[in-house]
C-alpha cells in the first residue's frame, strides 16, 4: 500500500484537522464525536440539513457543508457508517429551531445508525425527518437485497435541499423536495481499478488489467457485470442507457411519521425518463480518473441524451462522490423542473462546490 | 451466572475478537466490505475501557453500558445490531446481580428480539440471527429439560456453531452481502461467526469459573 498518510488509524482525524485549519470561514470541526458543521451554525429559524456516511468519498460529505448546502456532516471510519452519537450531537449543534432533515444513503449501516440518532434527537425535543437516497440502478432488485444504494443523487439532493432551506422552506417542504429529488434521480458507476482502504492495506477486490466492473458501488461493491475493457464511448453508453432505460422502480422505504409518532413504510416509485425531459447531468470521478477523461465521458453523454430526447439544462463534472483512489466514473441524471433549476442556481459556498458567492 | 462472570465474559470476548480480528475481516472480504473484525475489535476495546466504571453496578447496567459502548464505536450495521443485542439483553435482566438459567434464556431472547427488530431480519437471510436463533432454541430446551447451566450452555454453543456453519450455502438477503447475490453462496457469514464467538466465550467463562478463556477461535 502506497498512500500519503501517517498511520491508518489517524487518517480520518488528521483529515478533519486539516479541513478545520484550511477553511475556517466555511466550516468548524467537532471532535469526539466527529462532525463537520457550518461556521455560522446554528442559523436561527432555518431548517438544518445533516448527512454523513463512511469516509473515503471526499469531498462528500464534509466538503459539502456550508452556506446553501449541508449544515453538518458526520464522517465515519473509511467506508464504515458513522455512529448515532455523531449524528445526535451534530443535529443538536445545527438545529436552528425549524427542525432538522437527515439525508441518508441507503446502506444497512447508515440507515440503522441514522434511525437510532433520529430517535435520540426526538427524545431531546428536536424535530427530525429522514429521507433515504436510493438511486443506484445497478441494483435491480429490492426484494432480495438491501435495495438500491445511495450514490450520485445524494450530492444533488444535498445542494437542492440546502438551497431550499436558505429560501425558508419548512421542514416538511425540504423533506418533500428531497424525496422528489431521490425518485427523479438515477445513477450508475463503473470501475477500472479497485481501491485500498487504509486499515485493510490491500485492494478491496481484484480487477485484472484488461477488465472493468460495470455497476460498481462506491465502496467497491460488485455491480452488474465484469467484462473486458472497452472505449470511453462504449462505457458511457452502457451507463447512460442503464439509467435512461431503467423502468419504474418500486420499493418501500422507512420514514418517520410525525402524526403517528412512529417509523412507517412508505411506497415510492421512480418514474422512468421520457422524451422531452429536462435533466441535470452529473459526471463524477471515482477519485482516480482525471478531469480529461471526464470531459470525454460528458461529450458522449451529451450526444446520447440528445438522441434520447433528454435536454441537459445543468451539469456537474468532477470528483464529488469518490471511492478513495479508484479509477472509474459514475453518471447521474436528475429530471429537472423550474423549481429545481432555480434551487440549483442559488448560491453555495462549501469546500467542494462553490458558486454565486 | 454471577456478575463477576458477566464482566469476565465481556473482557474475554474483547480478547477473542482481537485474536480473530483478521479472521472476521477475511470472512467479510468476499461478501461484505472487509471491516467486520476491525470494527468489532474497536468496539470491544471501548467496552473494556467502560467496564471498570460499572463493576459495582447490576448486570443489567453492565450489559447496557457495554451495548452503548458498541453503538458509539463500531459503526456500520454491527454497531446498532450488537449494541442493541446487549442493551436489550441488559433490560431483560435489569437490577440483577446473579442470573438463573431462566434469566439467561430471557437475556438471549431479548437480545435476539432486539437484533431482529433493528435488522428486520428473517431466518436464513445469512446473518447473525442464523447463529443466535438456534442457540436460543437449544438453550430454552436444555433449561426446560433440567440440564445444569454448563451443559445447557454447551448445547447453546453447539447450536450456534451449527447455525454459523449453515450460513455457508445460504444466499445473502440483508446488508452489503446481498449485493453479491449468488456470489454470496459458499461463504460463511461474518456476523454469524462473531455471534458464535460471543456465545462460545460466554460458555467458556462460566465453565472456567474465573479463568479467562483466551485462545478461542472459530
Q: What is the spatial distance between Cα A146 and Cα A106, in angstroms, rounded to a whole number? A: 8
Co-location of A63 and A197 in the same domain: no
Q: What is the spatial distance between Cα A155 and Cα A65, in angstroms, rounded to a whole number? A: 11
Assigned domain for A2 exists: no
| Residue of B35, B171, B175 lying closest to A108 (CB–CB) | B175
Assigned domain for A227 exists: yes
Q: What is the CA radius of gyration of chain B?
A: 16
Co-location of A199 and A313 in the same domain: yes
Give me A294's grid cell. 471526464
Q: What is the mean pLDDT of residues B19-31?
A: 91
Co-location of A143 and A20 in the same domain: yes
Q: What is the mean pLDDT of residues A186-208?
A: 92
B105-161 pLDDT, tens digit per residue, is: 999 999 999 999 999 899 999 999 999 999 999 999 999 999 999 999 999 999 999
Looking up cell 481501491 gives: A195
Least Cα separation, residue A185 to chain B (angstroms): 20
In sequence order, what DSSP letters do the residues of B12-43 get, joined into one string?
HHHHHHHHTHHHHHHHHHHHS-S-HHHHHHHH
The total domain count for chain A is 2
A35 CB burial (10 A radius; 0-12, 13-18, 19+):
buried
Assigned domain for A1 exists: no
A77-117 pLDDT, tens digit per residue, is: 999 999 999 999 999 999 999 999 999 999 999 999 999 99
Co-location of A180 and A192 in the same domain: no
Co-location of A116 and A225 in the same domain: no
Q: What is the mean pLDDT of residues A329-335?
A: 98
Tell me if the bond preceding A61 is cis, omega within 30° of 0: yes
Q: Is the per-residue pLDDT at B207 higher than 50? A: yes
Give me B131's grid cell. 447463529
Structural domains in chain B? Answer: 3-208 (1.25.40.340)
**Closest by CA position to A111, among listed A180, A53, A189:** A53
Quick one: pLDDT at residue B177?
85
Co-location of A103 and A83 in the same domain: yes
**Closest by CA position to A84, among listed A150, A28, A128:** A128
Q: Is the per-residue pLDDT at A307 higher than 80? A: yes
Q: What is the CATH number of the domain that holds A223?
A: 3.30.1180.20
Is-catalytic flag, A202?
Answer: no
Co-location of A165 and A38 in the same domain: yes
Co-location of A132 and A221 in the same domain: no
Co-location of A35 and A132 in the same domain: yes
pLDDT band at B4 (very low <50, low <70, confident <90, very high): very high
Which of A107, A113, A137 is the best residue to mutate to test the B interface, defined by the most B CB atoms within 10 Å of its own CB? A113
Q: What is the mean pLDDT of residues A234-260?
A: 96
- Classify B125 as helix, strand or coil: coil
Sign of the torsion formed by the C-alpha atoms of A5, A7, A8 and A13: negative
Quick one: pLDDT at residue A220?
83
Q: What is the spatial distance between Cα A160 and Cα A195, in angstroms, rounded to a whole number? A: 30
Task: Identify the DSSP state of B127.
Answer: S
Q: Give the β-pairing of A311-318 and A278-285.
A: parallel
**Closest by CA position to A239, among listed A298, A189, A314, A310:** A189
Of chain B, the end-to-end C-alpha distance in Å amounts to 24
CB contact under 8 A, B173 and A79: no
| Residue of A76, A199, A217 lying closest to B75 (CB–CB) | A76
Q: What is the mean pLDDT of residues B79-107?
A: 96
Contacts of B75 in chain A (CB under 8 A): 54, 76-77, 80-83, 109, 113
Q: Is B25 on the interface with A (CB under 8 A)?
A: yes
Co-location of A172 and A280 in the same domain: no
Q: What is the spatial distance between Cα A218 and Cα A133, in angstroms, rounded to a whole number? A: 14
Q: What is the CATH number of the domain that holds A149?
A: 3.40.50.10440
In the predicted model, what is the mean pLDDT of chain A? 96
Assigned domain for A100 exists: yes
Q: What is the ipTM of this complex?
A: 0.85
- Are A125 and A309 contacting, i.e. CB atoms less than 8 angstroms apart? no
Q: Is the per-residue pLDDT at A9 higher than 50? A: yes
Q: What is the spatial distance between Cα A290 and Cα A293, in angstroms, rounded to a whole number? A: 6
Lowest average pLDDT, out of A57-61, B29-33, B53-57, goes to B29-33
Over the range A186-211, which residues count as b (16 or more CB within 10 Å of their CB) and which as e?
bbbbbbbbbbbbbbbeeebbebeeee
Contacts of B88 in chain A (CB under 8 A): none
pLDDT band at A200 (very low <50, low <70, confident <90, very high): confident
Assigned domain for A63 exists: yes
Which of A200-204, B192-196, B210-214: highest mean pLDDT?
A: B192-196
H-type alpha helices, chain B:
3-19, 21-31, 36-54, 59-71, 78-92, 101-119, 129-144, 149-166, 190-208
pLDDT band at A74 (very low <50, low <70, confident <90, very high): very high
Quick one: pLDDT at residue B213?
45
pLDDT band at A294 (very low <50, low <70, confident <90, very high): very high
Least Cα separation, residue A295 to chain B (angstroms): 30
Give me A330's grid cell. 459514475
- Are A351 and A311 contacting, i.e. CB atoms less than 8 angstroms apart? no
Q: Is B79 on the interface with A (CB under 8 A)?
A: yes
Assigned domain for A118 exists: yes
Q: Give the β-pairing of A185-191 and A328-336.
A: antiparallel
Distances (CA, A) of B62 to A117, A146, B65, B198: 22, 33, 5, 16
Q: Is the per-residue pLDDT at B216 higher than 70? A: no
Co-location of A13 and A54 in the same domain: yes
Contacts of A84 in chain B (CB under 8 A): 71-72, 80
Range of the domain at A238: 188-244+274-336
Assigned domain for A132 exists: yes
Other Cβ atoms closer than 10 A to A340: 24
- Calculate the dihedral angle through the C-alpha atoms of B212, B13, B49, B97, rounding to the nearest 10 degrees: -70
Quick one: pLDDT at residue A296?
98
- Are A328 and A139 contacting, i.e. CB atoms less than 8 angstroms apart? no
Assigned domain for A264 exists: yes
pLDDT band at A204 (very low <50, low <70, confident <90, very high): confident
Q: Is the per-residue pLDDT at A319 higher than 50? A: yes
CB contact under 8 A, B34 and A197: yes
A82-92 pLDDT, tens digit per residue, is: 999 999 999 99
Co-location of A96 and A212 in the same domain: no
Tell me if the bond preceding A33 is cis, omega within 30° of 0: yes
Contacts of A82 in chain B (CB under 8 A): 75
Quick one: pLDDT at residue B31?
84
Contacts of A108 in chain B (CB under 8 A): 76-77, 119, 174-176
Which of A210-224, A272-286, B116-130: highest mean pLDDT?
A: A272-286
Q: What is the spatial distance between Cα B174 and Cα A216, in angstroms, rounded to a whole number? A: 18
CB contact under 8 A, A200 and B175: no
Q: How many CB pairs under 8 A join A and B?
A: 94
**φ, ψ of residue A267 in degrees (nearest 5):** -90, 130
pLDDT band at B182 (very low <50, low <70, confident <90, very high): confident
- Classify B117 as helix, strand or coil: helix
Q: Is B77 on the interface with A (CB under 8 A)?
A: yes
Quick one: pLDDT at residue B218?
43
**φ, ψ of residue A328 in degrees (nearest 5):** 150, 180
Least Cα separation, residue B76 to chain A (angstroms): 4
Quick one: pLDDT at residue A347?
98
Of chain A, the end-to-end C-alpha distance in Å amounts to 40
CB contact under 8 A, A221 and B33: yes
Q: What is the spatial distance between Cα B184 and Cα B42, in angstroms, rounded to a whole number? A: 26
Q: Is the per-residue pLDDT at B217 higher than 60? A: no
- Are A321 and A60 contacting, i.e. CB atoms less than 8 angstroms apart? yes
- Calculate the dihedral angle through the C-alpha atoms of A153, A155, A161, A163, rounding to the nearest 10 degrees: -130
Q: Is the per-residue pLDDT at B198 higher than 80? A: yes
Amino acid at each position: 500500500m502506497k498512500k500519503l498518510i501517517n498511520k491508518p488509524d489517524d487518517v480520518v482525524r488528521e483529515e478533519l484537522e486539516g479541513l478545520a485549519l484550511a477553511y475556517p470561514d466555511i466550516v468548524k470541526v467537532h471532535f469526539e464525536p466527529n462532525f463537520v458543521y457550518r461556521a455560522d451554525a446554528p442559523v436561527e429559524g432555518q431548517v438544518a440539513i445533516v448527512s454523513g456516511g463512511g469516509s473515503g468519498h471526499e469531498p462528500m460529505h464534509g466538503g459539502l457543508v456550508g452556506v446553501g448546502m449541508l449544515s453538518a456532516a458526520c464522517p465515519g471510519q473509511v467506508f464504515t457508517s458513522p455512529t448515532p452519537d455523531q449524528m445526535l450531537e451534530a443535529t443538536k449543534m445545527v438545529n436552528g429551531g425549524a427542525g432538522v432533515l437527515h439525508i441518508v444513503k441507503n446502506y444497512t449501516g447508515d440507515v440503522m445508525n441514522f434511525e437510532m440518532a433520529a430517535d435520540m434527537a426526538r427524545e431531546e425535543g428536536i424535530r427530525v425527518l429522514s429521507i433515504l437516497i436510493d438511486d443506484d440502478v445497478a441494483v435491480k432488485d429490492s426484494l432480495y437485497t438491501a435495495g438500491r444504494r445511495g450514490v450520485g443523487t445524494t450530492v444533488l439532493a444535498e445542494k437542492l435541499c440546502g438551497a431550499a432551506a436558505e429560501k425558508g422552506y419548512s421542514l416538511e417542504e425540504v423533506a418533500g423536495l428531497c424525496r422528489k429529488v431521490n425518485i427523479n434521480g438515477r445513477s450508475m458507476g463503473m470501475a477500472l481499478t479497485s481501491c485500498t482502504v487504509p486499515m485493510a492495506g490491500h485492494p478491496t477486490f481484484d480487477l485484472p488489467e484488461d477488465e472493468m466492473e460495470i455497476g460498481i458501488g462506491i465502496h467497491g461493491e460488485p455491480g452488474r457485470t465484469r467484462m473486458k475493457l472497452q472505449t470511453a464511448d462504449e462505457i458511457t453508453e452502457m451507463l447512460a442507457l442503464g439509467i435512461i432505460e431503467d423502468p419504474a422502480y418500486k420499493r418501500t422505504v422507512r420514514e418517520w411519521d410525525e402524526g403517528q409518532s412512529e417509523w412507517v413504510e412508505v411506497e415510492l416509485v421512480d418514474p422512468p425518463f421520457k422524451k422531452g425531459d429536462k435533466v441535470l447531468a452529473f459526471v463524477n470521478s471515482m477519485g482516480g480518473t482525471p478531469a480529461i477523461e471526464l470531459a470525454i465521458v460528458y461529450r458522449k453523454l451529451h450526444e446520447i441524451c440528445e438522441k434520447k430526447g433528454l435536454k441537459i439544462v445543468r451539469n456537474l463534472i468532477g470528483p464529488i462522490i469518490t471511492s478513495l483512489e479508484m479509477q472509474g466514473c459514475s453518471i447521474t441524471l436528475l429530471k429537472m423542473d423550474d423549481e429545481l433549476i432555480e434551487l440549483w442556481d442559488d448560491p453555495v459556498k462549501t469546500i467542494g462546490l462553490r458558486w454565486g458567492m | 451466572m454471577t456478575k463477576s462472570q458477566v464482566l469476565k465474559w465481556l473482557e474475554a470476548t474483547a480478547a477473542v475478537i482481537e485474536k480473530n480480528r483478521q479472521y472476521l475481516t477475511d470472512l467479510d472480504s468476499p461478501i461484505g466490505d472487509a471491516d467486520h473484525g476491525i470494527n468489532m475489535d474497536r468496539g470491544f476495546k471501548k467496552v473494556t475501557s467502560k467496564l471498570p466504571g460499572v463493576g459495582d453496578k447490576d448486570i443489567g447496567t453492565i450489559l447496557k453500558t457495554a451495548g452503548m459502548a458498541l453503538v458509539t464505536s463500531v459503526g456500520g450495521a454491527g454497531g446498532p445490531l450488537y449494541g442493541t443485542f446487549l442493551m436489550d439483553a441488559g433490560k431483560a435482566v435489569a437490577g440483577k446481580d446473579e442470573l438463573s438459567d431462566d434469566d439467561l434464556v430471557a437475556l438471549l431472547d431479548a437480545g435476539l428480539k432486539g437484533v431482529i427488530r433493528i435488522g428486520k431480519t428473517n431466518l436464513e437471510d445469512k446473518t447473525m440471527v442464523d447463529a443466535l436463533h438456534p442457540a436460543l432454541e437449544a438453550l430454552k430446551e436444555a433449561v426446560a429439560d433440567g440440564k445444569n447451566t454448563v451443559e445447557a450452555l454447551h448445547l447453546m454453543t453447539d447450536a450456534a456453531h451449527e447455525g454459523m456453519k449453515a450460513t455457508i450455502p445460504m444466499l445473502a438477503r440483508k446488508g452489503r452481502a446481498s449485493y453479491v447475490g449468488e456470489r454470496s453462496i459458499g461463504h460463511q457469514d461474518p456476523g454469524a461467526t462473531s455471534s458464535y464467538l460471543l456465545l462460545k466465550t460466554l460458555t467458556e467463562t462460566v465453565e472456567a469459573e474465573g479463568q479467562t478463556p483466551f485462545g478461542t477461535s472459530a
